[in-house]
Amino acid sequence: MNNPRSDQPSETAKITIGDKVVSCPVVTGVENEKALDISGLRNQTGYVTYDEGYANTASCLSSITFIDGEKGILRYRGIPVEELAEKRSFIEVAHLLIFGHLPSVSEKSAFSKLLTSNCMIHDNMVKLFDNLPSSSHPMATLSAMVVTLSAYYPELIKPEMSAEEMNKIIAELLAKIRTLAAYSYKKSIGEPIIYPKREYKYVENFLHMMFSTPVDEYPLDKEVVDALEKILILHADHEQNCSTSTVRLVGSSKANLFASISAGICALWGPLHGGANQAVIEMLEEIVRDGGDVKKVIEKAKDKNNPFLLMGFGHRIYKNFDPRAKVIKGICDTVLTKLGINDPCLEVAKTIEEAALKDDFFIQRKLYPNVDFYSGIILRAIGIPTNMFTVIFAMGRLPGWIAHWKEQCESPNKKIGRPRQIYVGAPLTHI
Ligand code: SDX
C-alpha cells in the first residue's frame, strides 16, 4: 500500500517473533495517525493479529471523516461538524460527504430537484406496508423496504456501475428514505399516507409526510425544521462505526447499494449503537416515573453485578466530550424553550450528566455523554414517536453510509472483507 503521507520519510516497525524479525511499513494519515501495515504478516510469519471489536484495527484508508476522540474533533471532508451544522443544510452536507465538496449554487439546485423528483415510491410498494403488522418496529420496516427497492429498480443493482448509474441510485435512495420512514409511521398509526410536496425542501417534506393529514396541513415551524436539519447533519457520518463498517463489508462483496444500506440499518438498530437514542428516552422516562432518583441510577450503572448501562454515555472513540452531544444539548434548550415545553426528562438528563462527570467511575473510564444522550429529548419535543428515533438516526447517517460505499466501490483496493479468527472449538473428532 502506498503511504498516504508521501511527504513523510518512510517508517517501518519491527516485530520480533521468536528468532524472526519482521518489518512492517508504517502508514501515516493526514492528521498523523499511525498504523502498522500488517498485510504481509501471515505470509511472513504464519501469525495473524487478534483485536476484539477491532478497537485497534484500521480497516481502510478513507478521505471522508476525521475524528480525534481525545480532542473531541469531528470533521466531514476537513470541515468541523459544528460549522456545518450552523451554516449549511443537510442536503449540502450530504453532497459534501458523497461527492467530496460542498455544492455550488447550481449544483445544490440540481441536487435538490433530483431528490424531489425521486422521492415517490412505486405504488405497489405502498401496498407492502399494508401487510406488515402495525406494531412492527419502524427499523424493521425501513430495512425491509430499502432492500426491496432492489426489486423495483433492478436496473440499478449491477455490480459494476457507470458514474451516472451510481449517481442515480444514490439520488433514489436519499430521496426515498424519508418517504419510506414517514409511510412506516403513518401505517403504524393507521393514518393514510401523505404524499410529498414539490415546493418543500428535504426536511420540510419529511415533517409534512409525517404529520400532515388529508384534512390538516402540518404547520412548518422554522425552529423545528432547523433543529431536525441540525440533528441530521450531526448524525451524517462517523467514520468506521459499527453500521458504516457493516455497509463497507457488505459492499465489499459487490452487493448493491440498497442491500448494503439495508444491512447498515440493521446494525444501527442495536441499543449499543443507534438504538441507544430510543433506550436513553426509555431510561429517562423510567427514572422520572421512579421519582427522579439520579443517585440510585448512577450507583446502578457503576455496579459490575448489574448489567444496567447508563444509555447515551460512553464511546469507543471519544474519550473526551462528543462534540455532537454539546451541539445537541444546546438545541435542546432552544427548541424546548421555543415550543414552551418543560420536559422532566431534560432536567433528569442534565442532573445525570452533572453527577456522572464528577464521579470517579465515569472519569476513570472517560465516559461522557454521546450523540444519543440528548437527541431523543428534541425528537420527542418535535412529536417524533420514540420507536422512530433510530429511524431519524438512519436518515441522518444515510449520506455517510453512501459515501463510504461509494468510496470503497471507487477504491483501487477491491479486496472483499474477510477477517481471520482463532479457532477454540473441538479438536479433530471422528464419528
Ligand atoms: C453510537 O462508534 C461510533 O462512532 C458510534 C456512534 C456513531 O455516530 O456511529 O457514535 C453512535 O453508537 C454512540 C454510542 C451509543 N451507545 C450507548 O450510549 C450505549 C451505552 N454505551 C456503552 O454501551 C459503551 O460505552 C459503548 C458501546 C458506546 C462503547 O463501548 P466500548 O468502547 O466497548 O467500551 P467498554 O464497553 O469496553 O467500556 C469500558 C468500561 C467498562 O467498564 P470496565 O470493564 O472497564 O470496568 O466502561 C464501562 C464498561 O462497563 N462502560 C459503561 C458504559 N459504557 C462503558 N458503564 C456504564 N454505563 C455505560 N454507558
Could you list the pLDDT tens digit for every one of the 431 residues in the chain?
A: 556 666 666 899 999 999 999 999 999 999 999 999 999 999 999 999 999 999 999 999 999 999 999 999 999 999 999 999 999 999 999 999 999 999 999 999 999 989 988 999 999 999 999 999 988 999 999 999 999 999 999 988 988 888 888 999 999 999 999 999 999 999 989 999 999 998 999 999 999 999 999 999 999 999 999 999 999 999 999 999 999 999 999 999 999 999 999 999 999 999 999 999 999 999 999 999 999 999 999 999 999 999 999 999 999 999 988 999 999 999 999 999 999 999 999 999 999 999 999 999 999 999 999 999 999 999 999 999 999 999 999 999 999 999 999 999 999 888 999 999 999 999 999 99
String of b and e for 183-199 (b: at least 16 CB within 10 Å)? bbbbbbeeeebbbbeee
Atom from ligand 1 closest to the CA of residue 370: 13
In a domain, 384, yes or no: yes
Q: In Å, how far are 117, 162, 199, 286, 369 from 237, measured between CA atoms?
A: 25, 25, 28, 30, 18
Establish if 332 belongs to a structural domain: yes
Q: Which of 51, 74, 97 is the last residue of a domain?
A: 74
Pocket test for ligand 1, best of 64, 233, 245, 313 (most atoms within 8 A of CB): 313
What does the angle CA 51 – CA 54 – CA 58 come to, to the nearest 5 degrees?
110
- Strand ranges across the sheet with 11-17: 11-17, 20-28, 34-36
Residue 101 lies in a domain: yes
358 touches 403 (CB < 8 A): no
Residue at 93 is within a domain: yes
In 3D space, the residue among 390, 110, 400 whose CA is nearest the CA of residue 270 turns out to be: 390
Distance in Å, CA 272 to ligand 1 centroid: 7
Q: Whose CA is nearest to atom 33 of ligand 1?
A: 316
| pLDDT value of residue 161 | 87
Residues 364 and 309 in one domain: yes
**Residues 32 and 136 reside in one and the same domain:** no
Predicted pLDDT at 214: 96
The residues assigned a catalytic role are: 315, 372
User: Are 374 and 325 contacting, i.e. CB atoms less than 8 angstroms apart?
Assistant: yes
Count up the domains in the chain and report the number: 2
372-382 and 344-356 helices, crossing angle to 10°: 170
Residue 38: CB within 6 Å of ligand 1? no
- Grid coordinates 447517517 are at which residue? 397
189 CA from centroid of ligand 1 (Å) = 33
Do 54 and 173 fall into the same domain? no
Q: Is 300 in the pocket of ligand 1 (CB under 6 A)?
A: no
**How many whole angstroms separate alpha carbon 66 and alpha carbon 72?**
11
User: What does the pLDDT read at residue 8?
Assistant: 66
Task: Return the best residue to mutate from 239, 297, 303, 309 for the ligand 1 pocket (most ligand atoms within 8 A of CB).
Answer: 309
CA distance linking residue 224 with residue 230, whole number of Å: 10
Identify whether residues 127 and 173 lie together within a single domain. Answer: yes
Please name which of 210, 230, 229, 226 lies closest in space to residue 218, comparing C-alpha atoms.
Answer: 210
Q: Whose CA is nearest to atom 51 of ligand 1?
A: 314
| Nearest residue to 4 via CA among 430, 422, 411, 415 | 411
Quick check: helix, strand or coil at residue 4? Answer: coil
Which pLDDT belongs to residue 5? 65
CATH for 152:
1.10.580.10
Is 7 part of a structural domain of the chain? no
Per-residue confidence (pLDDT) for residue 413, from 0 to 100: 81
User: What's the CA gap between 423 and 418, in Å, rounded?
Assistant: 15
Residues 129 and 43 in one domain: no
- Domain span including residue 59: 12-74
> If residue 24 lies in a helix (H) or strand (E), which one and from where to where?
strand 20-28
27: three-class secondary structure by DSSP: strand
Indicate which atom in ligand 1 lies nearest the CA of residue 365. Answer: 47
301 within ligand 1 shell (Cβ under 6 A): yes
Total Cβ atoms within 10 A of residue 261? 29
Please indicate, yes or no, if residue 3 is contained in any of the structural domains.
no
| 295 lies in the same domain as 430 | yes
CATH number of the domain that residue 48 is part of: 2.20.28
Q: Does residue 310 line the site of ligand 1, with CB under 6 A?
A: yes
Distance (Å) from CA 163 to ligand 1 centroid: 38
The verdict on residue 273 lying in a domain is yes
My answer on whether 387 and 358 are in the same domain is yes
Last residue of some domain: 74, 103, 124? 74
Instruction: Tell me if 371 CB under 6 Å of ligand 1.
Output: yes
93 plus 69 within the same structural domain:
no
Residue 313 Cα, ligand 1 centroid: separation in angstroms? Answer: 7
394 and 315 in one domain?
yes
16 bridge partner residues: 21
Pocket test for ligand 1, best of 62, 81, 273 (most atoms within 8 A of CB): 273
Helix (H, G, I), strand (E, B) or coil at 35: strand
Q: Out of 53, 74, 95, pick the residue that ends a domain.
A: 74
41 with 124, same domain: the answer is no
Same domain, 84 and 24: no
- Looking at the structure, do residues 67 and 91 belong to the same domain, yes or no? no
